[in-house]
Amino acid sequence: MYNNNPTIKDIDESKQGDAFFKEQVANNTGDKNKKFYIESYGCQMNFSDSEIVASILADVGYSSTRDMEESDLILINTCSIREKAEDTVRKRLRVFDKIKDKKPGTLVGVLGCMAERLKQKLLDQEKLVDLVVGPDAYRDLPNLIATAEDGDKGINVFLSREETYSNINPVRLGSNGVSAFVTIMRGCDNMCSFCVVPFTRGRERSRDPFSILAECTDLYNRGFREVTLLGQNVDSYKWKNPDTEESIDFADLLELTANISPDLRVRFSTSHPKDITDKVLMNMAKHENICKYIHLPVQSGNSNILKKMNRTYDREWYINKIHRIYEIMPDCAISSDMIAGFCGETEEEHQDTLSIMEIAQYSMSYMFFYSERPNTLAHKKYEDDIPLEVKKRRLSEIIRLQNQMSFEHNRKEVGRYHKILIEKVSKKSDQELAGRTSQNKMVVFPRKEAIIGTYAYVKIDDFTSATLKGHLVDEAEYLEQTKQPN
């Protein structure tokens, strides 16, 4: 769900800092006729929040532009997860300074996690920034903009226990019209010792299921065929109906979403290993349209390190969970996040991460070296004592192993059949289309008569480490070939 990985090329990296297309925000009838430009960094939740921001701004007459030089308001939705993420933002602010030099009336606003982490400090350090707005304060943007237009600084970093933006219909920025992200919860109550998210996103809260289902149904009616339910920890989704006392957990929500239509694929991210239940796994197995793919970040394969990370599970517990997933869904793909060189990590402890990767057989991973974040538990309690070269070497071992495993995964796919949802024209050739398998693997194939936004059946012929190549087959052949033996 996060695409701010500094270490692997090609994995969603291209989306970082994407500015949005002009035509993708409805030009509202508001009398202001002003333009905003927005860049987003960090995880998918931030990209989703930018869609909420676009909706709030459209309501007060702003339309979006891809050209920052013609905008009246430049926004940057920021990430604090690692030091490097914040460095990137600081560099972008230098570029915005230049625009302001040329066009002094332009307002610059910092949104998201870095705004929340640094608060007033950001205004003190960055003299040309006019707005600092935390993730729970976007409804206040119109007021803050008005304040800034009057020459004052606009700041709101209030973290809410209730805000879920449930009634805001996000403007789908940069969308392919086929798959969309739907936020189901905000914040995080897990205090993983390395992580800044609980401080930047506040307490965990779940969005009411009616608005989630209404949003997904609306997307389906508009032609979307895949929704990804988003949250820092989707498995702890919990909502209680205040009238009936009836409660809905994540497994229920997943099933309700899957029931919108068998033609609507449902994905979700991210799962915390301690919270994913058998009920979730059973519901996944029961519904063909719930994709057989789980992002289940392990962080480390060593129990001592996991304890220091405050992940609340140990190596054995995680391995049992993996076995359970493969037992219930033998065709499920699992991916992960790993942190190399956490405080005090020994060579043996690092080896445990490599070995758990092999046990889990991840199809893909996001891999990082530890970056100490101010005020986190790890910062207060442990020394960041692994030298950078050692962190980098361990990380490169992790990446090398993952690349080998991803290559093997793809090699095994040759000759197999899949149902895919066609998402787009291939980057390399307009004669080819690309779509994902249930296991989240991208398949590129000659387009023939196939149409984006529909399902197709393919047989895999070839592969690279990143994608599968195949050709279209008819449904009868697919059904024959994927029939379960009696």
Q: Is 113 annotated as a binding residue?
A: yes
CB 292 within 8 A of CB 438: yes
Query: Judged by CB, which is closer to ligand F3S: 366, or 445?
Result: 366
Q: How many residues bind ligand F3S (CB under 6 A)?
A: 14
- Joined together, the tokens standing for residue 315 give 């190596």
Q: Is 343 annotated as a binding residue?
A: no
Looking from the CA of 17 toward its CB, the CA atoms found within 13 Å total 14
d(CA 38, CA 56): 13
Concatenating the DSSP letter of every residue in 325-360 gives: HHHH-TT-EEEEEEEES-TT--HHHHHHHHHHHHHH
Asked if 198 is part of the footprint of ligand SF4 (rule: CB under 6 A), the reply reads yes
Question: Which segment (149-157, 184-192, 322-330, 398-406) binds ligand SF4 by CB under 6 A?
Answer: 184-192
Q: Is 332 annotated as a binding residue?
A: no
Asked if 68 is part of the footprint of ligand SF4 (rule: CB under 6 A), the reply reads no
Distinct helix (H) and strand (E) counts, the chain: 15, 21
H or E element that contains 480: helix 475-482
Measure the CA dihedral 206/210/213/216, to 10°: -80
Concatenating the DSSP letter of every residue in 185-232 gives: EE------TT--HHHHH-S-EEPPHHHHHHHHHHHHHTT--EEEEE-T
Among 19, 34, 39, 46, binds ligand F3S (CB under 6 A): 46
Question: Which segment (68-76, 79-87, 218-226, 335-343) binds ligand F3S by CB under 6 A?
Answer: 79-87
Sites for ligand SF4 among residues 261-290 (CB under 6 A)? 272
d(CA 303, CA 315): 5
Query: Judged by CB, which is closer to ligand F3S: 237, or 417?
Result: 237
The distance of closest approach from Cβ of residue 188 to ligand SF4 in the complex, given in angstroms and rounded to an integer, is: 3
d(CA 476, CA 486): 18
Partner from ligand SAH, ligand SF4, ligand F3S, none contacting 341, C-beta within 5 to 8 A by type: none
Chain residues binding ligand SAH by CB under 6 A are 2, 81-82, 194-195, 197, 232-233, 270, 272, 297, 299, 337, 339, 368, 370-371, 373
The distance of closest approach from Cβ of residue 86 to ligand SAH in the complex, given in angstroms and rounded to an integer, is: 11
Residue 382-401 contact track with ligand SF4, rule CB under 6 A, x = bound: --------------------
Q: Is 452 helix (H, G, I), strand (E, B) or coil?
A: coil
Sign of CA dihedral 435, 437, 442, 444: negative
Partner from ligand F3S, ligand SAH, ligand SF4, none contacting 293, C-beta within 5 to 8 A by type: none
Residue 85-114 contact track with ligand F3S, rule CB under 6 A, x = bound: ---------------------------xx-
Per-state percent for the chain, helix, strand, coil, to nearest 5: 35, 20, 40
Sites for ligand SF4 among residues 86-125 (CB under 6 A)? none
d(CA 293, CA 301): 20
Among 25, 38, 43, 132, binds ligand F3S (CB under 6 A): 43
Asked if 417 is part of the footprint of ligand F3S (rule: CB under 6 A), the reply reads no
Sites for ligand SF4 among residues 206-245 (CB under 6 A)? 232-233
Binding residues: 43, 79, 113, 188, 192, 195
Residues lying near ligand F3S in the complex (CB under 6 A) are found at: 2, 42-43, 45-46, 79-81, 112-113, 196-197, 200-201
